[in-house]
Structure 1
Amino acid sequence: MTLNAGTLLGRYEIRAHLGTGGMGEVYLAQDTQLERTVALKILPPEFATDQQRMQRFVQEARAASALNHPNIITIHEIGQADATHFIATEFIDGVTLRQHMQGVRLSLLEALEVAVQVSGALTAAHQAGVIHRDIKPENIMLRTDGYVKVLDFGLAKPTGSGAASIDTEAQTKMLVNTSPGMIMGTVSYMSPEQTRGLALDGRTDIWSLGVSLYEMLTGRVPFTGETTSDVIVAVLDREPPPLSEYLTDVPAELQRIVRKSLRKDKEERYQTIKDMLVDLRSLKQELEFEAKLERTAAPGFRSGDFVQRTSGQREHAASATEREIVAETESVTPVRNTAGTEAHAGASQSKRNRWLAFSLIGALLVAGLGFTAYKLFWHKSGAAEVAHFQTIRLSRLTSTGRSVMSGISPDGKYVAHIVSDGTQRSLWIRQVASTRNVQLVAPAESNYFGVTFSQDSGSVYYVRGERNQPVKQLYQISVLGGEPKKVLTDIDSGITFSPDGARFVFLRFTPGAERETDLMIANTDGTGEQKLATRRAPDAWFFPSWSPDGKTIALASINAKLNWKVTIVEVQVADGQEKMLGSKMWLDVFQLAWLRDGSGLLLLAPADDAPDSLQIWLVDKQGGQVRRVTNDLNNYVSLSVTADSKTIATVHQDKVSNIWVAPNADAARARQVTQGSGWGYGLAWTPDGRVVYSSNASGKTNIWMMNADGTEPKQLTDLPGTNLHPAVSPDGRTLVFVSDRDAEGVHIWKMNPDGSNLTQLTRDKKESFPQFSPDGRWIVYESWDSGRPTVWKISIDGGQPVQLTNKFSKMAVVSPDGKLIACSYWTEQPGSPFVLALIPFDGGEPVKTLTLPNTAVRWSSDGR
């Protein structure tokens, strides 16, 4: 039976015929009630009396509808109109994997991307107790936006808790005796136990995915034969040709993954699809990182070898002008965020579906590829002038992952690095010439930073801060291990040594009314503290670096009068006088390091047109000229240099963030609704259950809106600068967000939900983290105008803002009844901890404090 355009099946209007599947015809249709496009799979009337076909038809709908995952087709309804049975599903704008391959093999990264998304879908299915049992290219669709969808759960069956097996002998016999067109396609992807009609578990899907991955890579299935019986014999008895027979330079890890998924004994196969997913994702991230280095590094760079430039004579690897960068590379698998970064969770105000959303961002979303070394040539046209880097060589040093900061010893023999496992941090060291990492300091729920070696390379200094405690300590430990020794207390930066190694300099932030940044000098044992210079709030210094001649200390200087831009300054050691080094005003600066001859400074900073990516730069001391050392899409978050300036140590971090949605109070059922990086800057629910979020997916950070399942993303702002931290009014008519589009500061703006009627609300120097009051009349936010955050509020109509706190307080959220504000709070008394404070909505002293981590919070819907 063929349905013509315009035919109505219940509330569905047929638009076009899409194709024919094993269970019937598939049509494009319009849901006339919900006004959405759907796909209708229709069981022919002659099959309606076939009990087996009807059972499979219903089973498909029930199996798929029980799953809720972005990589699994969404079932809207199973219905009947007169004598016609149908399933209404989401319409997938794309092609099947079979159509996409068309007899050719995919690239490594393309095949891995498909395999990762399919294994993600199967992980969700298996956790729900559902085995697919028919994974093959015909049942995998590729959407035009990059999403992969797993289709056709007609052979799937629930397994209860997920551990029970399924007797499939009858089902196997049915498949083997079906029409020739379906036999070959299905049997070729069957696991050995499935072809033999044995009990099945999730490992049969692992086999089928392995076969599909093999075919994506090679353009052919691993088990072939002229007849169905021949194929079954091959599946049971023969080993597939190795990938290297069809591919050149195939990664050994990829061969291992495919081999393990195609073990004939299921006990030797991957035991869970999640294990396979972890391996696939890790390999994909490693290949992506290597490809990105090849593609985006400066001209003349190539991973693993030297590329000679055409200017001048060829130079040898042993050249005395050779320079090296050691980089800890970080690539991420989305995991839940913890200390050191900010995670936002918001409960939906929609009564229809109460969900919890997670925005996962920041430095701890990492599963690293390891330290990586670059060899660099640079030429000098004069004694003090350093020209651009010319050639880079990459060689990997470690594969520990999870490192968030590193430092290299002056002699270049050691690299110390801080490792985070999410809740704890530890300090490790390795000899550059070896492959062994040694733990110096055991894991603890503390924040470690400021890794620095002594001038003789015999000790490692680091700063340790306890959770919720603002006062930090400096420790020293031998590179050979032993007990850490506390050197001094009350330090707020890493240290940098004088050229003779007898003293070091550091920063100390003074709380209270003064709110000063003091530049301090002390002996290497922590004695003899003296204040060299002071910077008063709202201005501040960061990242001191002592010059090789011992005369000056370079610092990053943030200045409120310069719209919070950062400049590089030098403070004279003799008298504390300050002068600017160059005229460049940076968006931000992270860490400084002098070159050995004092001719320039290396620093970490973002480019003006790429605020989310820190690069390594070189600032010339004499003329202040700025040159890029790295010019790629990576993000470098740590910087240190050897005494001879031949080696730089830096941490490369590749941040990946996604939005996840889960039933309220049931985070275990969280599902990912976005793909890739760029969703790390706040999110909010609308009253009708949509998500407003900030994303740099378009290249600039703007405000977006999408459905709760990740569909129909819409960009709301197209503004210069950075736009983030959105909030939605209770009636859904107004959105507020933070933007630095105004040249005079970072302010809060409001607009309509469609992006129209853009209006600036605040006009101080720097405001952030806006939140609506429950009645929608007020915006509560934090202001940095005084040099540290305090909580304020302003009418949604604008006007004069009202200060609510006069102590260090941030990340304020209003209670559901509008009576209280919860915020992170510090009394600014030395030694006092950060607490969660509850203050009256009209401001004043806290009415209650709670000892909680210094992080963002949300009220529960009942305000309790």
Structure 2
Amino acid sequence: PDGRHFLYLGQRSALNLDNTGSIIVGSVDGDMNRRLLNGSSNVGYARSGYLVYWRDHSLVAQKFDAKTLTLERNLAPIAETVARSQRGDAYFSISDEGTLVYQTGAGQANSQLRWVDATGKESGVFAKVADYRSPVISHDGRKVASSIADSGSGRLDIWVDDLQRGASTRLTFDAANEFTPQWSPDDSKVVYSSDAKGAGDLMIKDSSGTGAEEVLYASPYLKIPSDWSRDGKAILFSEQSPKMSFDVWMYSLENHKATVLLQTPFQETNGRFSPDGRWLLYQTDESGRTEVYVMALSGKRGKWQISTGGASRPRWSADGKRIYYVSPDFKLMAVDVAPGRDDFVAGTPRVLFPVNMKRINGTQYDFSADGKRILVNTPTEQTEIAPLTLVQNWTSALKK
């Protein structure tokens, strides 16, 4: 109420959806950063003197002294089975006049992995309905690795689906989040990110599931792997730091060192090696909107803009002569390209078809090895939309 202090949720990463985060009070002057309690969602302040937040699928209210910035011990439930988004946003809002509105339900969107052909026509469905994220096809075309969120806890694990046998096998079992898998060139290993010991470290494990996972590269910041070079020598990943946002890095499996490739105050993500290993494909918002670019990995200056009108989730074709990306209105786009010795020529982007893709972060599609089929992480149809519940003078129940 004094206009000098604010509340926020602090977490090691946006994927930590349990109570390992903290609800913190800070000041606009920068002279305060006080932890109030464990938390895993957004928090609201009611002028009647309560903090409202999500706890174990319920909304709770806890008395808060705005002058001393301290909490009383007891908390009271005010709504049950309140929905929460995939990044931890609880679906509620409170007004200064004492009105509460919230939505019930799981809050997490299930999906299926569906095949479509080059025209966008569906050609097959496989695997169960689940909360899939970032599916990627093995190089031999026999398996798909993805992260799946547990319906109860929301935690992510890596699973491998066998396309021929129809079997689904869990690859990771840690109590933390494991996400964004990438296959090694020979499909024998999978690299992924885990927040077991930090914001998100690069881990590696045999794709057969045998043996223990190993830490590949650790740092204080969130890291998201995006590609493994065809010669098996390097892994691309994006790292999020407080000062520079997301940047593109490369980890060398030969000398076990990480080198930054792109580092600016803007967000550079989704880096991908060209099939011949000479070019880096990536997306950045340096122009004010996210677009797709290519730069040489040789260190030569210069970059080439591939997309127009906004773009994300870029991929190369298997022969390196075409680049695909997703437009802001979720159309799959294609650009014919001609890499030269010292320059890069890109054609005019063209629409292939609207793609019914799960609208979350990450590349939610992948191409078969022959380029004739596309695997799309497709949201399942909702049979019923959860209603909004409005409660007037919600604090009156706390006084009874």
Q: Out of 643, 660, 663, which is 2:114 matched to?
A: 660
Please say if 1:641 is aligned against 2:89: no
Q: Is the 8 A contact 1:554 1:568 kept in 2?
A: no
**Equivalence map 1:408-427=2 (5 Å):** none
**Distance (Å, rounded) in 1 between the aligned partners of 2:151 and 2:290:** 37
**Counterpart of 2:24?**
569
The Cα of 1:789 is off from its aligned counterpart by: 0.4
Q: 1:728 aligns with which of 183, 202, 219?
A: 183
Asked if the contact 1:736–1:770 (Cα under 8 Å) also holds between the matched residues in 2, the reply is no
Find the aligned partners of 1:843 and 1:580 in 2 and give their Cα distance.
45
5 Å-filtered alignment, 1:18-29, equals none
Residue 857 (str. 1) matches residue 305 (str. 2) = no
Q: What is the 5 A alignment of 1:234-249?
A: none
Q: Secondary structure at the match of 1:741?
A: coil
Task: Please list the CA deviations of residues 462-496 of structure 1 after superposition, one character each: whole Å capped at 9, or x if unmatched.
Answer: xxxxxxxxxxxxxxxxxxxxxxxxxxxxxxxxxxx
- For residues 50-108 of structure 1, give each alpha carbon's deviation from its aligned partner in whole angstroms, at most 9, with x where no partner exists: xxxxxxxxxxxxxxxxxxxxxxxxxxxxxxxxxxxxxxxxxxxxxxxxxxxxxxxxxxx
In the TM superposition, residue 666 of structure 1 has moved relative to its aligned partner by 4.2
Say which of 780, 783, 800 aligns to 2:257. Answer: 800
* Selected match of 2:137 from 666, 684, 702: 684
Deviations 1:324-345 (A, max 9, x none): xxxxxxxxxxxxxxxxxxxxxx
Q: Which has the larger radius of gyration?
A: 1
Query: SS at 1:674's partner residue?
Result: strand
- TM value normalised by structure 2: 0.65
Trace 1:71-110 onto structure 2 (pairs within 5 A): none
State the alpha-carbon separation in 2 of the partners of residues 848 and 805 from structure 1.
14
> What is the identity, as a one-letter code, of the residue corresponding to 1:821?
L
Whole-Å separation in 2 of the counterparts to 1:710 and 1:661: 17
Quick one: which of 275, 282, 288 aligns to 1:823? 282
In structure 1, the residue matched to 2:196 is: 741
> Secondary structure of the residue that 2:269 maps to in structure 1?
strand
Q: Secondary structure at the match of 1:774?
A: coil
- Do 1:725 and 1:738's aligned partners in 2 also have CA atoms closer than 8 Å? yes
Structure-2 separation of matches of 1:683 and 1:651:
32
Distance in 1 (CA, whole Å) between partners of 2:53 and 2:302 is 41
Is 1:719 aligned to 2:168, yes or no?
no
Q: CA RMSD in A?
A: 3.2
Deviation at 1:810, TM superposition (A): 0.6
- Higher relative contact order structure (alpha carbons within 8 Å, sequence separation ≥ 6): 2
CA contact (8 A) 1:693 1:725 kept: yes
Amino acid of the structure 2 residue aligned with 1:785: S
Q: State the Cα distance separating 1:704 from its structure 2 match.
A: 1.4
Contact 1:683 1:693 in 2 (8 A): yes
CA distance in 1: counterparts of 2:103 and 2:143, whole angstroms: 40
- Give distance in 1, aligned partners of 2:145 and 2:208: 11
Could you report, residue by residue, the CA deviation over 1:245-268 in whole angstroms, capped at 9, with x for unpaired residues?
xxxxxxxxxxxxxxxxxxxxxxxx
Deviation at 1:681, TM superposition (A): 4.2
Q: Which residue of 2 aligns with 1:774?
A: 230
2:193–2:225 contact (8 Å) kept in structure 1: yes
For 1:597, the equivalent position in structure 2 comes to 48
% of aligned pairs identical?
15
Determine the structure 2 residue equivalent to 1:694: 147
Post-superposition Cα deviations, 1:421-464, rounded to whole Å, max 9, x if no partner, equal: xxxxxxxxxxxxxxxxxxxxxxxxxxxxxxxxxxxxxxxxxxxx
The one-letter code of the counterpart of 1:555 is L
Amino acid at match of 1:814: F
Distance 1:737-1:667 versus aligned 2 partners, 3 A rule: same
Task: Identify the match of residue 753 of structure 1 among 207, 210, 223.
Answer: 207
Distance in structure 2 (CA, Å) of the matches to 1:698 and 1:719: 16
Residue 741 of structure 1 deviates from its aligned partner by 1.6
CA deviation after TM superposition for structure 1 residue 839, in Å: 2.1
Does the CA contact (< 8 Å) of 1:661 and 1:708 recur in 2? no
Counterpart AA for 1:795: S
1:783 CA displacement: 0.6
Shift of 1:631: 5.0
Tell me how far apart the structure 2 counterparts of residues 661 and 668 of structure 1 sit (CA, whole Å).
8
Q: CA deviation at 1:712?
A: 1.0
Q: How big is the shift at 1:832? A: 3.5
Q: Which amino acid aligns with 1:662?
A: V
Q: Do the aligned residues in 2 keep the contact of 1:639 with 1:650 (CA within 8 Å)? A: yes
Q: Which residue of 2 aligns with 1:29?
A: none
What letter corresponds to residue 603 of structure 1 in structure 2?
Y
Distance 1:761 1:691, change over 3 A: same
1:846 shift after superposition: 4.8
Match of 2:350 in 1: none
CA distance in 1, matches of 2:171, 2:165: 16
What is the CA-CA distance between 1:635 and the residue it aligns to? 2.8
**Following superposition of structure 1 onto structure 2, how do residues 96-245 of structure 1 map, counting pairs within 5 Å?**
none
What code does the residue aligned with 1:640 have? Answer: S
**Structure 1 residue 620 displacement after superposition:** 3.8
Change (3 A) 1:686 1:718: farther
> 3-state DSSP class of the match of 1:680?
strand
- Please state which structure has a larger fraction of its residues in helix: 1
Unaligned 5+ runs, structure 1:
1-546, 608-613
Give the distance between the partners of 2:151 and 2:84, measured in 1 at CA. Answer: 18
Equivalents in 1 of 2:92, 2:300: separation in Å? 42
Question: Aligned with 2:121: secondary structure?
Answer: helix
TM-score of the superposition, structure 1-length normalised? Answer: 0.32
In 1: Cα distance, 2:303 partner to 2:3 partner:
51
- Cα distance 1:628–1:749, how it changes in 2: closer, same or farther (>3 A)? farther
Q: Report 1:248-647 matches (<5 A).
A: 547=1, 550-556=2-8, 558=10, 566-572=21-27, 577-584=31-38, 586=39, 588-590=40-42, 592-598=43-49, 600-604=50-54, 616-621=59-64, 622-623=70-71, 625=73, 629-632=78-81, 634-635=83-84, 637=89, 638-647=91-100
Q: Larger strand proportion, structure 1 or 2?
A: 2
Match of 1:783 in 2: 239
Counting matched residue pairs gives 298
Alpha-carbon offset, residue 628 of structure 1: 5.4
Contact 1:794 1:802 survives alignment (8 Å): yes
Equivalence for 1:250:
none
Equivalence for 1:88: none
Provide closer, same or farther for how the CA distance between residues 583 and 841 of structure 1 changes in structure 2, counting only shifts above 3 A.
same
Aligned-pair CA distance for 1:676: 2.1
Q: Is the 8 A contact 2:12 2:21 kept in 1?
A: no
